[in-house]
Homo-oligomer: A and B are copies of this chain.
Amino acid sequence: MPAQLTIRFANLGREVLAYKGETVLQCARRTGVRIVGACGGRGTCGSCKVRILSGDIHLVRPDAVDEECAEPRREWVRACLVRPITDCIVEVASRAAAPVVRVDVEGDDTCAVYPLAPVVRSHDVELGGPVVAEVSPALERLLAALGEGTANRIDLGALQTVPMMLNQNAWRLRASIRDGEMIGVGPHGQRKIGLAVDLGTTNVAAYLTDLESGKCLARLGIENPQVAYGADLITRVNHAIRTSHGHIELQSAAVTAITSLAEDLCAAVDAPVDAIVDIAVCANTVMHHLLLDLPVSQLGRAPFVPATCVALDVKARDLGLAMLPGAYVHLLPNVGGFVGGDHVATLLATEERWSDSTTVVIDIGTNTEVSLMHRGTIITTSTASGPAFEGGNISAGMRAAEGAIERVRFVDGEIRIDVIGDVEPVGLCGSGVIDVLAALREAEIINRRGSICSGHPGVRDNYGRREYLLASQVAFTQDDVRAVQLAKAAIRAGLDMLLREAGLAEEAIAHVVIAGAFGHYLDIASAIAIGMFPPLPMERFAQVGNAAGAGVRMALASGATREHASHLATRCRHLELGTRPDFQKAFLGRIGF
């Protein structure tokens, strides 16, 4: 057994055991301490900043230390490049700290109530207490109390708990029944809760829904722990195929994320995890296959054919998820190799906006899906935009919290920044990323090809990498510029291909619906300025936030909605760009400014 050290994360109130040889980030990941690490611990993004308050450490690379500082103890270092040698006390930078559960309250507009027709029904029964010399088996008494025809079969996991539940709850139970199958029993009147999960490449968002009122009770987003095995999908596919336990590692990481979200959300609303009677998950096709342990090798090479696109219902326990014993996970249908149930969820949630006009729906994420609706047809494609817009692979990237630069403008000949809260800026959140590129381009600090030009105030060299200093602690590097250039070119070229396929010009687009958490905050004018979106009148754009999250909540709430989602998925004609030589040309044509 490897020798162990203690790491105390002082400002998070956690103390954990580290193995000798692992980095602070690896240890944090393994023990569930949530430090943002957008590049997956490869030392490239700088999002995992920590300060070693006491203890000896080894720096994996000299650039682990990002800021010059007189006192070594006070330096900010990247958690992924620091190996503790002795017991340590560590402070996690506020920009690297974990998100917290948000308990939704009445009046919150994200707390929408969707059409409610849950697939799981609850039945409260009273069995009248134990009877002396009662010889009727527990299950038969329960079935009799439910009435004939209510349940015609019982899940084994549920059955295993019936006698204990009867005894513990004074013979008063609530049975959860799904399509004639009793999937669990709990205390009389126990809340009926559902979990909706948007399993994204970089972030995982989960929503706890009261399935009796349809209300969202709480929500939480965390970084996808699969990021540790690769920031993008192809890297993860290769990890799954080429390493001996890769598939299991990625599957467990997804399960760990969902389990931990379920536990935190339930704790926040004071409900037991086994009050979760139903789960709906939307994910892109690779994430979907990895979660289900389906083979992914064919998703790593053209023509990128999934094992299946149909909507699936599988037992949560078959995935390793422990909720109600017999609960099912519903997986929204996929459209194709890189267009998954998350985009179907987006289409579901935005249908009113696109059903009767020529509309483009853009779901911005690590992969960006684009659908073009025109005269009743839907053509859908996906482009690899990378994690830049989700805060990944951006050296100063952080979530939208105190200290984050959220707006950047070029006004009166100078670069101006807006910071969340009245504090010293510590990082750059998603909405600022496109702004900074647009502003630097306008100021001609970046040229048409995307190179940062020397000779400007604020431009400096850092270990041979040119960068622009937005604030004393926040730099935007040449690598950051390249990441955003590739992302915006991929998205715009994808749109070009759809328009070409439909024989339409950009001007024919009546509405552009921009979905995704990042898309919610981006500045449309900036995005047009850098060439990510076509130069259409501003009123044609609508920013709808995390529509995939809304869509998966709709699917959680209703069986009829699930059927409709399957119908939507089959309506989409999938355009695979990876096999099209004209896409590469379109992409290269959109890289510059």
Q: Which residues of A contact B (CB under 8 A)?
A: 133-140, 153-154, 156-157, 159-160, 162-164, 292-295, 298, 303-310, 312-315, 317-318, 336-337, 574, 576, 579
Using known A-B contacts A134-B303, A153-B313, determine if residue A139 contacts B308 with beta carbons closer than 8 Å.
Answer: yes
A-B contact pairs, 28 of them (CB 8 A): A134-B303, A135-B303, A135-B337, A135-B576, A136-B305, A137-B305, A137-B306, A137-B307, A137-B309, A137-B310, A138-B305, A138-B307, A139-B310, A156-B312, A156-B314, A156-B318, A157-B318, A159-B294, A159-B307, A159-B308, A159-B312, A160-B294, A160-B295, A162-B307, A163-B295, A163-B298, A163-B307, A317-B318
CA distance A530 to B55 in the complex (A): 83
CA distance A140 to B307 in the complex (A): 8
CA distance A314 to B325 in the complex (A): 14
A336 nearest CB neighbor, chain B only: B135
A294 nearest CB neighbor, chain B only: B160
Task: Give chain B residues whose Cβ lies under 8 Å from the Cβ of A163.
Answer: 294-295, 298, 307
The answer on a CB contact under 8 Å between A135 and B293 is: no
- A332 to chain B minimum Cβ distance, whole angstroms, is 15
Task: Give chain B residues whose Cβ lies under 8 Å from the Cβ of A305.
Answer: 134-138
The answer on a CB contact under 8 Å between B574 and A140 is: no
A305 nearest CB neighbor, chain B only: B135
The answer on a CB contact under 8 Å between A159 and B313 is: no
- A527 to chain B minimum Cβ distance, whole angstroms, is 31
CA distance A561 to B293 in the complex (A): 37
The answer on a CB contact under 8 Å between A308 and B576 is: no
CA distance A133 to B303 in the complex (A): 6
CA distance A154 to B311 in the complex (A): 11
- A292 to chain B minimum Cβ distance, whole angstroms, is 6
The answer on a CB contact under 8 Å between B308 and A140 is: yes
- A294 to chain B minimum Cβ distance, whole angstroms, is 6
- A562 to chain B minimum Cβ distance, whole angstroms, is 13
CA distance A481 to B58 in the complex (A): 77
The answer on a CB contact under 8 Å between A156 and B292 is: yes
Task: Give chain B residues whose Cβ lies under 8 Å from the Cβ of A293.
Answer: 160
Using known A-B contacts A134-B303, A313-B153, determine if residue A164 contacts B295 with beta carbons closer than 8 Å.
Answer: yes
Task: Give chain B residues whose Cβ lies under 8 Å from the Cβ of A312.
Answer: 154, 156, 159
- A534 to chain B minimum Cβ distance, whole angstroms, is 28
Task: Give chain B residues whose Cβ lies under 8 Å from the Cβ of A310.
Answer: 137, 139-140
- A38 to chain B minimum Cβ distance, whole angstroms, is 31
Task: Give chain B residues whose Cβ lies under 8 Å from the Cβ of A307.
Answer: 137-139, 159, 162-163
State which of B292, B317, B579 has its C-beta within 8 Å of the C-beta of A133: B579
- A472 to chain B minimum Cβ distance, whole angstroms, is 52
A161 nearest CB neighbor, chain B only: B295
Which of the listed residues A153, A163, A313, A574 has the most CB atoms from chain B within 10 Å of its own CB?
A163
Using known A-B contacts A160-B294, A314-B156, determine if residue A309 contacts B134 with beta carbons closer than 8 Å.
Answer: no
Which of the listed residues A136, A138, A293, A298 has the most CB atoms from chain B within 10 Å of its own CB?
A138
The answer on a CB contact under 8 Å between A138 and B303 is: no
CA distance A138 to B299 in the complex (A): 12
Task: Give chain B residues whose Cβ lies under 8 Å from the Cβ of A133.
Answer: 303, 579
CA distance A222 to B294 in the complex (A): 37
A318 nearest CB neighbor, chain B only: B156
A157 nearest CB neighbor, chain B only: B318
Task: Give chain B residues whose Cβ lies under 8 Å from the Cβ of A134.
Answer: 303, 305
Task: Give chain B residues whose Cβ lies under 8 Å from the Cβ of A157.
Answer: 318
CA distance A7 to B452 in the complex (A): 74
A309 nearest CB neighbor, chain B only: B137
The answer on a CB contact under 8 Å between A138 and B308 is: yes
Task: Give chain B residues whose Cβ lies under 8 Å from the Cβ of A153.
Answer: 313
A298 nearest CB neighbor, chain B only: B163
- A364 to chain B minimum Cβ distance, whole angstroms, is 25
A296 nearest CB neighbor, chain B only: B163
The answer on a CB contact under 8 Å between B137 and A308 is: yes
- A261 to chain B minimum Cβ distance, whole angstroms, is 22
CA distance A61 to B490 in the complex (A): 80
CA distance A160 to B291 in the complex (A): 11
A153 nearest CB neighbor, chain B only: B313
A130 nearest CB neighbor, chain B only: B305
Task: Give chain B residues whose Cβ lies under 8 Å from the Cβ of A315.
Answer: 156
CA distance A413 to B315 in the complex (A): 70
CA distance A318 to B159 in the complex (A): 13
16 other A-B residue contacts (CB within 8 Å) besides A135-B305, A137-B309:
A135-B337, A135-B576, A137-B308, A138-B307, A138-B308, A154-B312, A156-B292, A157-B318, A159-B292, A159-B294, A160-B292, A160-B293, A162-B308, A163-B295, A163-B298, A164-B295
